[in-house]
Chains A and B, each alone.
Chain A
Amino acid sequence: MRRLLALAAAFFVADLVTAQAPPPEPNGNAAAAARQCNICHGKQEFKTVRPDGSVRPLFVDEAAIRDSVHGKWQCTDCHADVDKIPHPAPLAQVNCQRCHFGGNPVGAPERINYEGYVKSVHGRLRLAGNTKAPLCQDCHGTHGIRKHTDPTSRVNKAQVPSTCGRCHVEIYADYQRSTHGQSLLTKGNLDAPSCTDCHGEHSILAPKETASDVSATNIPETCSHCHGSMAFNTKYEIPINPVKTFKHTFHGIANELGSKKVAQCASCHTAHAVLPAADPQSSVNPANIPATCGKSGCHEGANANYARGRFHIDPTNRDSGIIYWVALFFKILTISTLAALLVHILLDLVKKLRHGHAGGHHGE
């Protein structure tokens, strides 16, 4: 354990801050070099037993490497601690920063957000010694890394949910049955959000952290990336702007001013199991409204009255029914009252200024 910790610390701290080790030179004879490793790792049945008794397969599919973005490199370019065969087991964790750093001479993509990762919930947990928290290879893969634009890549938009779902099992299940998950995974609609569209990628923070894209106070902004546009909403048969109407409610105003207690998008629609209100499974289906509004800490004891009315009301829209008419009545009443008061003030001013003000205080 201590050794792992030391490795992790060395991986992050030393390599982030200090100069990088010289990256490997491309070797045209990678295939030939791999043949030596294949003596053992080319065998399907090559396995070892971990200290906890579980079996670890050690077979490496060379074809997957050759197909990957790293196809031209040889095994020891990444597994740099192998200097003899057979090598001592286990090898050190592969360090991606051997190549992926700003100004690297081998042309490895540099736009990699290590700083964001180190500050992310994943990076912080890993640095603190939690080996369940993901490193680069846990999401991007090991030998078969492909570009995110490749539909078979583990970090392709449509593949991200299953990649994250390897750890976040229950959230993945909720997401799969949500309208977002169904659209992306079943219908292949790339308008629908994948995990990273809301949570970010390398710099993911926990929702309870204020700076997180999915914190209580940032959720409306995050959802507005899609639902703030009426062109988008209309395309998906959402008749009003849900973000704009939310911002005019007491919830929305308090949320905007930093209150974490009031309801935001995810409080009612859930974070991952978002479904249209017409769906009986939806948290905002009229039958489920009492339970949703009545969550502990919110409107405990909420009854069916909470579902008797509209949500996301735009008082300036005729479709809002009685709300529209009452608001219109009061707007007219307010404007005519103001006009009447103003007319009286003007008449009074003109009269008094033109004719003197009949005494006033100038005798006193």
Chain B
Amino acid sequence: MSADRDSRRPIPDQVRRFSATELAQHWVLMVTLTVLALTGLALFAADTWLGRTLIAAEGGIEARGTIHRVAAVALMILTGWHFLYVVFTERGHGQLMAMRLRASDVRGFGRLVAYYLGRIEELPEFGRFTPLQKLQYWGAGIGSLMMIATGLVLWFHTAAMMVVPKWVFDVTTIVHGYEGLILFALLFGWHVYIVHLSPGNFPMQRTFLDGKISVERLRREHAREYRELFEDDVTPGGASGPGGAE
């Protein structure tokens, strides 16, 4: 596989893409959002068989609420943890910087569309995070923050309504419901398709388990990052590379 390469360093089969901390945060997010989605959907669809089945499975309407709130607290703790991680750790801050939305992402997105429509032959070259990955991250992040904010109003409604009128509360209820539905579709539909269900990845990609990505995939889907790691004049050993810190 490295016949076309001219390198003095041996190229490994896999590189580490995510640190243990990042995998742990992903696990907490995955579990809390799953619990929140199932208990939330139960209420959102309470007048359908789906809602009734979920509520029964969750131990009734009051237990459902308790489970939802416990998971919400876990999500808030995770949010605090993630915030500290991306602001105060070198590795985390580097990842956040790599995750910034830039003008090149808009161009990259346009070229991706062109690729899908058959206008260009080759998959566009992306860096560490593709435009679609950035959409997933910021969608999940901003969505979670909105869910936390609106959810707190609903949870502490008696305190909230000392300040806001009833119609704001009613609007909050609607936003929380639909925002949750959008987030559910984004992560449990789209994100799961992209990382696990799409041809080539099906039935499962192992990156979320071991944090590793095959070099072949890295070269194809993150061509610029691959070049920075293995072709450009970058110090080997990876202390400055995105896959370096563990």
Interface 0/1 of A216-248, CB less than 8 Å to B: 000000000000000000000000000000011
* A358 contact from B170, B182, B190, B200, Cβ within 8 A: B200
| Complex interface: chain B residues within 8 A of A248 (CB) | 47
Interface 0/1 of A305-334, CB less than 8 Å to B: 111111001010000011100110011011
Asked if B185 contacts A337 (CB within 8 A), the reply is yes
A345 to B123, CA, bound (A): 16
A341 at the interface (CB under 8 A from B): yes
Asked if B167 contacts A308 (CB within 8 A), the reply is yes
Task: Report, nearest first, the 3 A-B pairs whose CB atoms are least far apart.
Answer: A309-B166, A360-B200, A308-B165
A96 at the interface (CB under 8 A from B): no
The listed residue with most A CB atoms (<10 A of its CB), out of B43, B60, B171, is B171
A297 to B246, CA, bound (A): 53
Size band of the interface chain A makes with B: 35 or more
Asked if B199 contacts A360 (CB within 8 A), the reply is yes
A79 at the interface (CB under 8 A from B): no
Asked if B46 contacts A253 (CB within 8 A), the reply is yes
Interface 0/1 of B120-154, CB less than 8 Å to A: 00010000000010000000000000000000000
Interface pick from B20-28, B99-107, B172-180, B234-242 = B172-180
A147 at the interface (CB under 8 A from B): no
Dominant SS at the A interface? helix
Asked if B220 contacts A358 (CB within 8 A), the reply is yes
Interface pick from B3-11, B75-83, B90-98, B156-164 = B156-164
Dominant SS at the B interface? helix
A330 to B132, CA, bound (A): 22
B208 at the interface (CB under 8 A from A): no
Q: What is the interface of chain B, defined by CB distance below 8 A to chain A?
A: 1, 13, 43, 46-47, 55, 60-62, 115-117, 123, 132, 157-158, 161-171, 173-175, 177-179, 181-182, 185-186, 189-190, 193-194, 198-201, 214, 216-217, 220
Interface pick from A18-26, A117-125, A190-198, A346-354 = A346-354
Q: A330-B179, A337-B186, A345-B193 are in contact. Are A361 and B47 (CB under 8 A)?
A: no
A284 to B194, CA, bound (A): 52
A258 to B62, CA, bound (A): 10
A351 to B201, CA, bound (A): 14
A76 to B171, CA, bound (A): 71
A30 to B187, CA, bound (A): 87
Asked if A322 contacts B167 (CB within 8 A), the reply is yes
Asked if B161 contacts A310 (CB within 8 A), the reply is no
| Complex interface: chain B residues within 8 A of A301 (CB) | 158, 162
* B182 contact from A253, A257, A333, A347, Cβ within 8 A: A333
Q: A253-B43, A257-B46 are in contact. Are A323 and B60 (CB under 8 A)?
A: no
Asked if A330 contacts B161 (CB within 8 A), the reply is no
Shortest distance from the beta carbon of A318 to any chain B beta carbon, whole Å: 15
| Complex interface: chain B residues within 8 A of A331 (CB) | 178
Some 19 contacts from A to B, beta carbons below 8 A apart, are A247-B47, A250-B173, A258-B61, A259-B61, A303-B162, A309-B167, A315-B174, A326-B174, A330-B179, A331-B178, A334-B178, A334-B181, A337-B182, A341-B186, A341-B190, A344-B132, A349-B198, A351-B115, A360-B201
The listed residue with most A CB atoms (<10 A of its CB), out of B117, B198, B220, is B198
| Complex interface: chain A residues within 8 A of B193 (CB) | 345, 348
Asked if A359 contacts B220 (CB within 8 A), the reply is yes
Residue of B nearest to A364 (CB): B214
Q: A302-B161, A309-B166 are in contact. Are A349 and B200 (CB under 8 A)?
A: no
| Complex interface: chain B residues within 8 A of A347 (CB) | 116-117
Residue of A nearest to B158 (CB): A299
* A326 contact from B47, B162, B165, B171, Cβ within 8 A: B171
A357 at the interface (CB under 8 A from B): yes
| Complex interface: chain A residues within 8 A of B200 (CB) | 352, 357-361
Asked if A330 contacts B178 (CB within 8 A), the reply is yes
A363 at the interface (CB under 8 A from B): yes
* B199 contact from A310, A341, A349, Cβ within 8 A: A349
Shortest distance from the beta carbon of B191 to any chain A beta carbon, whole Å: 9
Q: A257-B60, A334-B181 are in contact. Are A352 and B199 (CB under 8 A)?
A: yes
Asked if A259 contacts B164 (CB within 8 A), the reply is no
Q: A299-B158, A334-B181 are in contact. Are A363 and B1 (CB under 8 A)?
A: yes
* A330 contact from B116, B157, B169, B175, Cβ within 8 A: B175
A254 at the interface (CB under 8 A from B): yes
A300 at the interface (CB under 8 A from B): yes
Interface 0/1 of A260-298, CB less than 8 Å to B: 000000000000000000000000000000000000000
Asked if B161 contacts A299 (CB within 8 A), the reply is yes
Asked if A309 contacts B169 (CB within 8 A), the reply is yes
A112 at the interface (CB under 8 A from B): no
A338 at the interface (CB under 8 A from B): yes
Asked if A327 contacts B174 (CB within 8 A), the reply is yes
A95 to B156, CA, bound (A): 59
User: Could you list 4 further interchain pairs (A-B, Cβ under 8 angstroms) beyond the known A310-B170, A344-B116, A345-B193?
Assistant: A338-B189, A347-B117, A352-B200, A361-B214
